[in-house]
Amino acid sequence: MKALLLEGKGKWEQMQVGNSKKPVPGEGEVLVQVHATALNPVDYKTATGGNPSWSYPHILGLDVAGVVEEVGANVTDIQVSDRVVYHGDLTKKGGFAEYAVTTAHTVSVIPEGVSFEAAAALPCAGYTAYQALFSKLHIEEGQFILIHAGAGGVGGFAIQLAKQAGLTVITTVSKKNHEYVKSLGADYAIDYKEEDFVKETLAITNGLGVHAVLDTVGRENANKSLEALAFNGQIAFIAGPPDVNSAISFAHPLSFHQVALGSAHQSANRHEQAALKKMGDNMLELVKEGKLDPLVEKTISLDEVPQALAQLASRTVTGKIIAVL
């Protein structure tokens, strides 16, 4: 089969389309003929450092949408010819290929009216936002939330989901993307390059701070975000934890939530693995109903993926880039 091949650690910019052996589904797995695969920062990040479970040439691509061609033993809920989408296991070969294999209990069936491209845009960024907001922060109507990097994939989905849940949404984003994030539902956009987001957030909330922060930027940004949290506030972090020990205070108690979506695959917790399917089912329904923009910004071919990953690495991309086969 045709696949985009990573020939060694750190060589993602040199990836080329070549031939690879077509995978075979094992017990509890499904073989998917790939129609669309989303690009994510985790692709170039893991490719740079490599993974002990990989053999080379490796195939990247975690977010896959396509048609089930074959099911393994003891698969009953998914049928051949089902249109499905899933978030894959980063320790296994991925979806930048004509075919890919995954566990049946983690896939969602794509409803009629939702394209492969729209479905593929959801898993990594969308499920991460969904898990952070609803499983970690347990957001509630009437709260204030600060969502960092609102023009990115996770931020863009989080803005939409938080606004639908009845929150007042504040986001950090460069000036050029203010109108974009407001079109997604942000109430306030703070230019992180020119403005102090803590000062601006406290001004917006009359000095009280926000009930929740979603940080996708990194440890330093997460640490600073603690200053914007209200009494009993919460922070969910993805790219690095704040200094929790220094932040513990009886006078200003806070809660801390680590978000690591894909690690469910490596856990022995089937319930958490199946939660990937549940998140997918819920988000696909929102897309079908026109309540959630899948943020598809551009579609590309498989051989254009390395260049597009370099664009992602520059942190100048809004929305999602989708490779179509």
Place of tokens 């990836």: 15
Which residue type is seen at 116? F
CB-based contacts of 38: which residues, under 8 Å, 6+ apart?
62, 63, 120, 121, 122, 123, 124, 125, 320, 321, 322, 323
Q: How far apart, in whole angstroms, are the C-alpha atoms of residue 75 and residue 29?
A: 7
pLDDT in tens, 33-49: 999 999 999 999 999 99
How does strand 108-109 pair with strand 83-87? antiparallel
- Cβ atoms of 192 and 174 within 8 Å: the answer is yes
Buried-state track 136-163, b at ≥16 Cβ within 10 A, e below 16:
bbebeeebbbbbbbbbbbbbbbbbbbbb
pLDDT in tens, 154-209: 999 999 999 999 999 999 999 999 999 999 999 999 999 999 999 999 999 999 99
- Cβ atoms of 6 and 56 within 8 Å: the answer is yes
pLDDT at residue 316, as a whole number: 84
Per-chain mean pLDDT for the chain: 97
For the chain, how big is the Rg over CA atoms in Å? 20
pLDDT in tens, 233-248: 999 999 999 999 999 9
Percent of the chain surpassing pLDDT 90 = 99
pLDDT in tens, 16-27: 999 999 999 999
Angle at 275 between CA 271 and CA 281, to 5 degrees: 145
The whole-number average pLDDT for the span 58-85 is 97
Domains by residue range for the chain, with CATH: 2-121+263-324 (3.90.180.10), 125-259 (3.40.50.720)
